[in-house]
Chain A
Amino acid sequence: MSLENLLGNWSQYRKGHEEGGFHDYKHLWGMAIDLDICIGCNACATACYAENNLAVVGKERFEKGQAMHWLRLERYWDQNELDHPAQGASFLPMMCQQCDAATCEPVCPVAATYHTPDGLNAQVYNRCIGSRYCSNNCPYRNRYFNFYSYYEDSWPEPLNMQLNPDLTVRDKGVMEKCTFCVQRIRVAKDNAKMENRPVADGEAMTACAQACPTNAIVFGDYMDKDSQVAKLWKKHQVKLRLTKQNKENPELRGYRIFEELNVDPSVMYLERVREEV
C-alpha cells in the first residue's frame, strides 16, 4: 500500500521536499551558449521541431501566442538611439534553462514537473492536469501549453510518419517544454551501459547543439570534469548554486540569465563581443 510506503519513507519524503530535489547527481546536464558566434540562423529551433515532435500551430494561433517552439531564437536591437543598428542584432537562443532550483517544480499541484537525478527538470505529460501554474512561475516563460490537440492539424498524413517514436505527441491540456532532448540522453546512457563504460562527452547531444553550424551551443555533463561544457564553465568561472558569481576575473564572458532570482539555471551564456569601428 502506498500509505505504508508514505509512512515508511516519511523522512526521505520530507527531506526531498525540504531540500528540493536530488543532490547526489550522477549526471548534471548543462549547456554553454556562446552568443558571440551564435549567428541566429534558426537551425537549432528547426532541429528541435524535428526531434521533439513540436506542433506547427499556424498563423492565427501563432498570433495569439500559442506557438509551441521549445527553443525560441530571440532577437534584440540594442542601439536604439541610432538610426541604424550599426552593430547588428543580438540573438539569444532561449530554451528551458533546466534550473536546479526550478520555480516551476514546487508549484505544480500534482508534481508533474520534478527534478531527475540527472539534474533535468522533467515534465511528466501523463501526470499533468494543466493547471499551468508552472508556466506562470517560470521567469523565462519557457513552458508551452497544448491549447489544442494538434495531432490532426499539425501532421496531416503522411507528415505524421516523420514523428519521432522516442517521445509522445502531446495532447491538449498538457504542459510541455524543452527536455534537453532527454530521449537522446537516454540512448547515450543505454549505449554506455550496455558497453559497461561511462557516457562519453559528446555522446549525449541535444538536437540544437548537434545542429548549430557554428558550434555555439555546447551540451554535456557538468559532473564530468573533462567534458567540454564543464571546462567552459570552469574557464569562465561560472558556478552552480550561486545567485551572484564572484569571479576572480570579472572580465570573463560567462553569465547566467536571471541567476539573481535564485533559480540556478543550467545554461551558461557567453557574452556577445563587438568591435567598435
Chain B
Amino acid sequence: MSGKIDRRNFLKIMGLGGAGTALGGCDLPSTVTLEEGKEEVVSYLMPEEYVIPGVGVWYASTCAQCAAGCGIHGRVREGRVLKLEGNPDSSMNHGKICMMGQSGVQAHYNPDRIKTPMLREGGNLVAVSWEKAVGAIQEKLSAANGDQVAWFTGTLSGHQAALVSNHLEALGSRKHYIHEPINASVWQAVNKDMLGEAMPRLRLDKAQMILSFGADFLGTWISPVHFSGEYAKFRKQKRRGLLVTIEPKMSLTGANSDLWIPAIPGTEGVIALGIAHQLVKNHSKDMSSLPASVQGLINKYDAATTAKIAGIDEKRIQRIAELLVERSPSLVLAGAPVEGQAKGYASVAAVMLLNQLLGNIGQTIESQGSFPFNQLKAKTGGTSDLFSFVETAKNKQLSVVFFYGTNPKFTAPKAMEMDSALNDVPFKVAISMFMDETSMAADVVLPAASYLEDWGTHVAAYQPQQTAISMQQPLMEKLYAETRGFGDIVLDLLKVAKKDVYSAFADYYAYLKNAHAALPAEYKEAGMTDGDAWSAALQKGLVNVATGSMSLPVKPVSFGDPAPADSGGKFAYHFVPSARLGMWDGRHANLPWIQEAPDQITKVVWDSWAEIHPLTAQKLGIKNGSIINVESEHGTAKVQAVLIKAIHPDVIAIPMGQGHEEYGRYAKGRGANPLKLLNPVKEETTGELAMYATRVNASPTSQKEVVVRLGASDTQAGRRFVVTVPVEQYQRTEGA
C-alpha cells in the first residue's frame, strides 16, 4: 500500500474490523498527506514500523476544551485516537486532565460535526466547495476596508493568535473582539493596576490559608486542573492548609472548604474591607501606603457596619481576620461573583487589598516573569467586547466578521440585542466544528478540524512554575476530508492579504515548523538539527520557555466604595448564572459524557435547574422538582427547582450551559439559558458585563417533575461512608 492514502481508504481499512485491521495494520501508513505531491508529514512522530496493531501509542498535544491549555497525551490505536490523558511532562497539569479534557474525544468524534463548507444562498445555508466559500469571503474582504473587518474569537494564543493579529494588521483593522463568558477579566484588570501584571502566579502550595471570594479555582477559575494539583499540596502541608470560601452559591471550591459562608453577591468587597478594618485596627497591619480614599473605606467598615451590609456575623469577620494573620502567608482570591457587579472593580480591588495588607505579594503571589515572545501571548477576554461589538455592529461599521471559538449569539444576554447586531453585519464567517447558534446565523460556515486533527501552539494566560509553549499536533487523520485546521484557514486568508510574506508556507504545519526553527538556539539541545528539535518538541508536547525574572511592585490603587447601591426594585432575588466544571459556558453541552455527568453539587443530569434555598422555596411555595418561572426584567426562564441549602437564601442560581437552540442532538432544546435573563449592566471601571448583578423573581407553576439526579439520599443515613475527622486529629497523626 502506498503512503498516499486518502481518508476514505483509510477509514475503509479500519472498517474491516478486528481481523482485517490486524492484517491491514501492517501496511497502514502513519503518515498524513496534507496535499498531493507535497511533503509528507510525520504526524505520529514514530516511524511506520512502530505502529503495531493492537498496541496503543501515546502522542502529546494540547487540550483545547477550555483556555487553560493543559498538556495532553492521546492514545492512538489503529489510526484512531481513543483516550486522552494529561501530559505528565506538563507542569501545568502533571499528567491530569479534567472531565472536559477527558470528553475531548467526544467533540472530535461528535456525530454533529460540520462536514463541508456552507454558504448562505437564498436564505439557507447550502453545502458548497471550499473554493466557492473562500471566493465569497475574499470578494467581501476586498470590498471592505480597514476597521470594517473584524475577528470575534474566544481566547487565542500561540501562532494562531499571531496569525489572526497579522491578518487584521494586513487588512488595516484593529477589531479583534475576544469573548469568554467564564473569565477573570476584572481580577486581571485589578492586578494590572495593583501589581503591574494581569495574571500573576499563585502559589497555592505555599499558602497556609486560602480565602476565596467566589474564585472557584477547583472548578471553573482560570486553570482548574493546575490549581487542583496545587490544592492537594496546599492541604498536605505540614500544617494542613485552611480554606475559607465566601460566595453566593456553593461552587466546587466552596464544597471543599473548611468554612463556607454564603454571601449576597456584591457584598464581597464590603466583607473584604471589613476584614481589612480588623487587620488594621486589631492586628496592626500597616495601611499608611494606601491612598487616603482607601484608608477611608477601611476605617468606614468596622465589624458592625460590615455585618449589617453583608449579613454576616461580626465574630466571623473578626475570626477570619485573626486566622489570616495567624496563617501566614495566605492567599485571598476573588472570582466571578465579586467581579460581576457594577462595582466589580472596587470589590475585587478590596479583596486584593487584603493580599497587600497581609504581605502575601511576593510570597503566595509571584510574578510570572517576562515572556519573550510577545506575539504568542494569550489574548484573553471577557464580556466587555460583547458591548463594543454590538455597538459597532449596530452603527453599521462592520461588514465582514470572522467568528471562531466563541458563540456570542448564545452567551450574550437578550437585552444586549446581539441578534439584531448580528443582522447588522452583512457578512459573517463562522469557523466552527458544530452548527451552534452563531454559525446558524452566519453567511459562510467553514468546517474546522477538531483540535485532535489540527496543528497549533498554545501559550496559556496563566503559566505554572515552568512557563511553556504547549504544542498541538494531529493525533489522527482528519475524520472529514473537507474540514480544515484553523491555522490553515487563517494562513490561506493571509496568503491573499499579505502574499509576499506568507505564500512561502505550503500550509500551517510548514509555517509552524519554520517558526520553531526560528526559535533562539537555547531552545534546542546542542547538536540537534532543526528537524530533530521539532520532533523532540512534539514528542514532549511542549517547549519550555525561560522567563525573565520580575518582581511585583505593589502600587497603591484607589477605588470607590464597593457597597451595592441598588435595591433591585420589584425583583427580590439576586440571580447567579453559575458556572459548572464540565458544561462550562455551554460549549460542552453537545458532549454526551458531559450531559450524563452529574453536576458536582446538585448531582442533576441532562437538564437545567434553579437552585433555591429551602427557606426561600417555602416562602414562595416552591417544592423540590416544581417547574418554576424565573423572571428578570429582560426575560423568563422556565426551569425545575432544586432545593439546596448550599446557596444564600436571597439568591437563585441557574447554571450556564443548557438552553441551546442549536448545537446538535445532545444540546438542542434542553433546559434554559440563564445568560439570556441578565440585565446589560456594565462594570463601571472595566466595562465588563456585570453577570451577577441581575435581580429576579421566582414563581411556581402547577407542574412538578421528578428531579433527575444521581443518588437518592442527601445524607449518609448513619452509615460510615464519608467520615469527617477534626483537623487536630489529623495533625497528630499525619501532620508535622
| Pairing of A with B | yes
Q: Which residues of A contact B (CB under 8 A)?
A: 35-37, 39-43, 45-47, 49-51, 56-59, 62-63, 67, 69, 72-78, 80, 82-92, 154, 156-166, 207, 210-216, 249, 251-253, 255, 257, 269, 271-277
Number of B residues with CB within 8 Å of any CB on chain A: 100
Partner of B729, one of A63, A72, A251: A251
Interchain CB contact under 8 A, A77 and B645 = yes
Residues on A with beta carbons closer than 8 Å to the beta carbon of B724: 78, 87, 90, 271-274
Whether the pair B255, A89 counts as a contact (CB closer than 8 A) is yes
B235:A36 contact, CB within 8 angstroms? yes
* B residues in contact with A35, CB < 8 Å: 722-723
* Complex-state Cα separation, A159 to B106, whole angstroms: 7
Which of B218, B319, B582 sits near A277, CB closer than 8 Å? B319
Distance between Cα atoms of A47 and B593 in the complex (Å): 10
B95 CB within 8 Å of chain A: yes
Query: What 3 pairs between A and B have smallest CB-CB spacing?
Result: A213-B228, A90-B722, A214-B232
Taking CB as reference atom, which chain A residue is nearest B476? A161
Which chain B residues in 690-736 approach chain A with CB under 8 Å? 706, 708, 710-711, 713-716, 719-727, 729-730, 732-734
A76 near B232 with CB under 8 A, answer: no
Q: Could you tell me if A277 and B258 are in contact, using CB atoms closer than 8 angstroms?
A: yes
Residues of B near A42 (CB, < 8 A) are: 99, 581-582, 597-598, 600
Among candidates A43, A45, A88, residue contacting B260 with C-beta atoms closer than 8 Å: A88
Chain A hits for B710, CB < 8 A:
62, 67, 69, 72-74
Q: How far is the CA of A161 from the CA of B727 in the complex (A)?
A: 48
Given contacts A41-B228, A87-B724, A214-B232, 10 further A-B contacts (CB under 8 A): A50-B83, A56-B595, A63-B708, A74-B711, A162-B81, A164-B83, A214-B228, A253-B725, A276-B726, A277-B258
Inter-chain contact B240/A275, CB cutoff 8 Å: yes
Q: Is the CB of B721 within 8 A of A213?
A: no
21 A-B pairs within 8 Å (CB atoms) are namely A41-B219, A41-B228, A43-B96, A49-B597, A58-B606, A62-B606, A85-B250, A87-B259, A90-B722, A156-B111, A158-B109, A162-B83, A165-B18, A210-B95, A211-B96, A213-B228, A214-B232, A215-B229, A253-B734, A257-B720, A277-B320
B102 touches A154 (CB 8 A): no
A158 → chain B closest CB, angstroms: 5
> CB < 8 Å: which of A41, A164, A273, A276 contacts B240?
A273
Q: CB of B225 within 8 A of chain A?
A: yes
Q: Which residues of B in the span 56-103 have a Cβ within 8 Å of any Cβ on A?
A: 56, 77-78, 80-86, 93, 95-99, 101-103
**Alpha-carbon distance A213/B593, docked complex (angstroms):** 18
Taking the closest CB of chain A, its distance from the CB of B667, in whole angstroms, is 13
CB atoms of A46 and B727 under 8 A apart:
no
| Complex interface residues of chain B between 1 and 47 (CB less than 8 A to chain A) | 14, 18
Q: How far is the CA of A45 from the CA of B81 in the complex (A)?
A: 20
Knowing A74-B711, A89-B250, A257-B720 touch, does A40 contact B109 (C-beta < 8 A)?
no
Within the complex, the shortest CB–CB distance from B618 to chain A, in Å, comes to 12
Q: Which of B93-128 contact A (CB under 8 A)?
A: 93, 95-99, 101-103, 105-106, 108-111
Which chain B residues lie closer than 8 Å to A252 at the CB level? 733
Q: Are A41 and B723 in contact (CB under 8 A)?
A: no
Q: Flag if A88 contacts B93 (CB, 8 Å).
A: no
Inter-chain CA distance A49–B582, complex, in Å, is 14
In the bound complex, residues from chain B placing their C-beta under 8 Å from that of A76 are 713-716, 721-722
B154 at the interface (CB under 8 A from A): no
Interface centre among B219, B258, B706, B726 (most CB of A within 10 A): B258
Taking the closest CB of chain A, its distance from the CB of B98, in whole angstroms, is 5
Q: Which residues of B contact A51 (CB under 8 A)?
A: 83
Contact of B415 with A by CB under 8 A:
no
A37 smallest CB distance to B (angstroms): 5
Nearest chain-A residue to B77 (Cβ)? Answer: A165
Flag if A46 contacts B242 (CB, 8 Å): no
Q: Which of chain A's residues have a CB closer than 8 A to the CB of B706?
A: 63
Q: Which one of B93, B105, B260 contacts A86 once the chains associate, using CB atoms below 8 Å?
A: B260
Q: How far is the CB of B564 from chain A (nearest CB, A)?
A: 21
Contact between chains at A77 and B715 (CB < 8 Å): yes
Output the nearest chain A residue to B722 by Cβ-Cβ distance.
Answer: A90
Given A37-B236, A39-B218, A87-B258, verify A214-B231 contact (CB < 8 Å): yes
Does B681 interact with chain A (Cβ within 8 Å)?
A: no
* Residues of B with C-beta under 8 A to A275: 240, 242, 258-259, 726-727
In the bound assembly, the distance between CA atoms of A39 and B232 in angstroms comes to 9
In residues 632-684 of chain B, which contact A (Cβ within 8 Å)? 645-646, 649, 665
B605 within 8 A of A: yes
Q: Can you name the residue of chain B whose Cβ is closest to the Cβ of A87? A: B258
Chain A residues with Cβ under 8 A from B734's Cβ? Answer: 253
A41 touching B600, Cβ below 8 Å: yes
With A40-B600, A49-B593 in contact, do A273 and B256 touch (Cβ < 8 Å)? no
Contact indicator A158/B255 (Cβ below 8 Å): no
B233-275, CB under 8 A of A: which get 1 and which 0? 0011000101011000010101111111110000000000000
User: Are the CB atoms of B257 and A88 closer together than 8 Å?
Assistant: yes
Check if B615 is an interface residue, CB within 8 A of chain A.
Answer: yes
Inter-chain contact B85/A210, CB cutoff 8 Å = yes
* Complex: A207 Cα to B218 Cα, angstroms: 20
Q: How far apart sit A273 and B735, CA to CA, in the bound complex (Å)? A: 12
A156, A163, A277: most-surrounded residue (chain B CB, <10 A): A277
Q: Is B601 an interface residue (CB 8 A)?
A: yes
Q: Chain B contacts of A251 at CB under 8 A?
A: 725, 729, 732-733
- The verdict on A43 contacting B102 (CB below 8 Å), with A75-B711, A91-B255, A249-B733 known, is yes
Our pick among A80, A214, A277 for the contact of B715 (Cβ within 8 Å) is A80
Cα A165 to Cα B17 with chains together (Å): 10
B479 within 8 A of A: yes
Within the assembled complex, what's the spacing in Å between the Cα atoms of A39 and B710? 17
List which B569-622 residues lie within 8 A (CB) of chain A: 581-582, 592-598, 600-601, 603, 605-607, 613, 615
| A132→B605 CA distance, assembly (Å) | 26
CB distance from B373 to the nearest CB of A (A): 28
Residues of A within 8 A of B54 (CB): 165
Q: How far is the CB of A119 from chain B (nearest CB, A)?
A: 23
For the complex formed, measure the closest distance between the CB of B685 and the CB atoms of chain A, giving whole angstroms.
32
- B557 near A: Cβ within 8 Å? no
A189 and B730 alpha carbons, distance in the complex (Å): 37
A206: min CB distance to chain B, Å: 12
CA distance A253 to B235 in the complex (A): 15
For residue B536, CB closer than 8 A to chain A, the reply is no
- Known contacts A74-B721, A78-B715, A89-B250; is-contact A67 B596 (Cβ 8 Å): yes
Closest to B98 in A: A43
Q: Find chain B residues with CB under 8 A from A87 CB.
A: 257-260, 724
CB neighbours (8 Å) of B598 from chain A are: 42, 73
Contact across chains for A75 and B600 when beta carbons are under 8 A apart: yes
User: Residue B552 at the A interface, CB < 8 A?
Assistant: no
Task: Given the known inter-chain contacts A37-B235, A39-B218, A57-B596, please indicate yes or no for A211 contacting B255, CB distance below 8 A.
Answer: no
- CA gap between A157 and B254 in the complex, in Å: 39
A157 to chain B, nearest CB (A): 6
CB of B437, distance to nearest CB on chain A (Å): 22
Q: Is B325 an interface residue (CB 8 A)?
A: no
Closest to B258 in A: A275
Instruction: Tell whether B323 is near chain A: CB-to-CB under 8 Å.
Output: yes
Is there an interface contact between B83 and A45, defined as CB atoms closer than 8 Å? no
Residues of B contacting A41 in the complex (Cβ-Cβ under 8 angstroms):
98-99, 218-219, 224, 228, 252, 581, 600
Which residues of B sit under 8 angstroms from A43, Cβ to Cβ? 96-99, 101-102
Residue contact B726 to A271, C-beta cutoff 8 Å: no
Residues of B within 8 A of A80 (CB): 714-715
Smallest CB-CB separation from A272: which chain B residue?
A: B724
Q: Which residues of A contact B708 (CB under 8 A)?
A: 59, 62-63
Q: B258 near A274 (CB under 8 angstroms)?
A: yes
Give Cα A62–Cα B106 distance, bound, in whole angstroms: 20
Please determine whether A273 and B228 come into contact, CB atoms closer than 8 angstroms: no
The distance in angstroms between the C-alpha atoms of A227 and B127, with both chains bound, is: 57
Q: How far is the CA of A196 from the CA of B526 in the complex (A)?
A: 35
Q: A56-B592, A159-B109, A255-B720 are in contact. Are A274 and B232 (CB under 8 A)?
A: no
